[in-house]
Amino acid sequence: MRSWQIFKIWGIPFKVHPYWFAVLFLFSWSISNQVNLTSGDIYNIKESWIIGFLTSFFLLSSIIFHEVFHTFVSLNQGVKIKKITFYFLGAILQIDKYCQTSLGNIKIAIVRPLLCFATASILLLISKNIASQEQIAVNVISRVGIFNLFLGFLNLIPIGSLDGGNLLKSIIWHFSGSKNKGRNFLNKVNLLLSFFVLIFGIVCLFRFNFYFGFILSFLGLFGVNSSKSESQFFKIENILKFSKVSEIKLKPLRKIEYDSNFSEFNTLIKNKKDESDKYFFVTNNGRWTGFVDENILKTVSLRKWERNFVGDFKKPIDSFETVSYNDKLWRTIERLEETNEGFLLVLNAADIPLGMIDRSKIGNFVLNKLGFNLPSEIVNKLNFKNHYPLGIELPRIINSMKKKGDL
């Protein structure tokens, strides 16, 4: 569903998702029921709904207020934000560029919890000093204050992408000087907490409350899987960042002598194994002199196939998209995505062709580095399609690394 813009500050659109209205109603209904159960002798049904709606509305308003300040701090620390969408108890930020310093990330991570605690303190103080006859106002203000207090502590939990997780990661980064150490430490903390929640949930499942135990077990299992996925993602980033083309097994070049006629050329095309590769590289006494596209068969009359030489139609090597065997893997992937057909010619230091590289070769290399060895049947099918295996979005990962300043 399309989100609706509520206002725009510093060129950044602040939007609210339509699901928010359903959640607003459910949250209001939940609070009104809770008021009826605990204070039914004080408030009637209408007043309970007023308390429920106003609590939900002002809680959202405080979250928007906090997000505006959080955005201001983020912009001052070099973050580039494209848009912000609210989902009632939080917001999703579409970021084009992340903060590049540990201290800046600490400031960004701490601002939201501090604002929650400050708002809670002010509201709870106000609720204690309001005239006792303003019971609805006292109830709403105190509830919004308590919810802000809860959100402040929730945001400080050192897990995932919560402010507490980013804060812990940034603190480790600041004192160790290594961003990777911060990420690894946070992932280990997430894994430990997830195991604790999983074990506690299993105990509750069989000995106390089945429903509560099921929810905790599910959350713990989800956390364990997320930590493992984050660990694998981190490994992929390191492979892309530090590996070179020279480590990859290249696709051999298909050769043809410059004085071969088109009938011989046609025979080679019919016998090829990889249907997606249409290039042949021309040699002359062992030296590479250029390349030809198999589509040139269509430009030469069948009557002239015996008399015309392939070498007369060759293109120079330097007109082919190339990459050095010493280039980093992530740069190679960027170059590969810029090509129309997804092939690059790999050259050595003397500009001599060594082989071809495509998406499937790179993807299989990454999987092997991760410890996944695909059967030859699957590899052959992937080579035919020239796709990254198992849906690995390597270009997207590289783009994300650039936004975070890791490349």
Which residues have a catalytic role annotated? 67
Q: Phi/psi class of residue 270: alpha, beta or left (left: φ > 0; alpha: ψ in -120 to 50)? A: alpha
Beta-carbon contacts of residue 377 (< 8 Å; ≥ 6 apart): none
Q: Report the amino acid identity of residue 252.
A: P
CA–CA distances in Å: residue 237 to residues 165, 230, 234, 247: 20, 10, 5, 16
Gap between the Cα atoms of 149 and 133, Å rounded? 25
For residue 375, how many other CB atoms are within 10 A of its CB?
A: 8
319, two tokens: 């007109």
Note the residue count of the chain.
407
**17 labelled ligand-binding:** no
3-class DSSP state of 363: helix
Gap between the Cα atoms of 82 and 95, Å rounded? 6
Interhelix angle 210-242/359-370, rounded to 10 degrees, is 120
Q: Phi/psi class of residue 286: alpha, beta or left (left: φ > 0; alpha: ψ in -120 to 50)? A: left
Gap between the Cα atoms of 99 and 108, Å rounded? 9
Gap between the Cα atoms of 282 and 173, Å rounded? 53
Gap between the Cα atoms of 343 and 340, Å rounded? 8
Q: Report the amino acid identity of residue 48.
A: S
First CA to last CA across the chain, in angstroms? 34
CB 343, CB 357: distance < 8 Å: yes
**66 labelled ligand-binding:** yes
**163 labelled ligand-binding:** yes
3-class DSSP state of 95: strand
Q: Which residues are annotated as a binding site for Zn(2+)?
A: 66, 70, 163
* Residues tagged in the binding site annotation: 66, 70, 163
